[in-house]
Structure 1
Amino acid sequence: MSMLANILGFSLWGLAVRFGQLGIQRRPLFENMTGHAIAMGVFGYGGYWAWRWDQKSVQLIEQKKVEISERRKERVARMEAVAEKLGLEQATSEEH
Structure 2
Amino acid sequence: MPNCPSCFGLVKVATISFGQPMNMNDFERSKDKIIESDILIVLGSSLQVQPVASLPGFAVQNGKKLIIINKDPTNFDKYAEVCIHEDICNTVAKINI
Fold agreement, TM-score > 0.5: no
The TM-score range, normalised by the shorter chain, is under 0.3
More strand by share: 2
More helix by share: 1
Specify the structure having the higher radius of gyration (Cα).
1
TM-score (structure 2 length as normaliser): 0.19
TM-score (structure 1 length as normaliser): 0.19
Instruction: Tell which has more relative contact order, 1 or 2 (C-alpha 8 A, sep 6+).
Output: 1
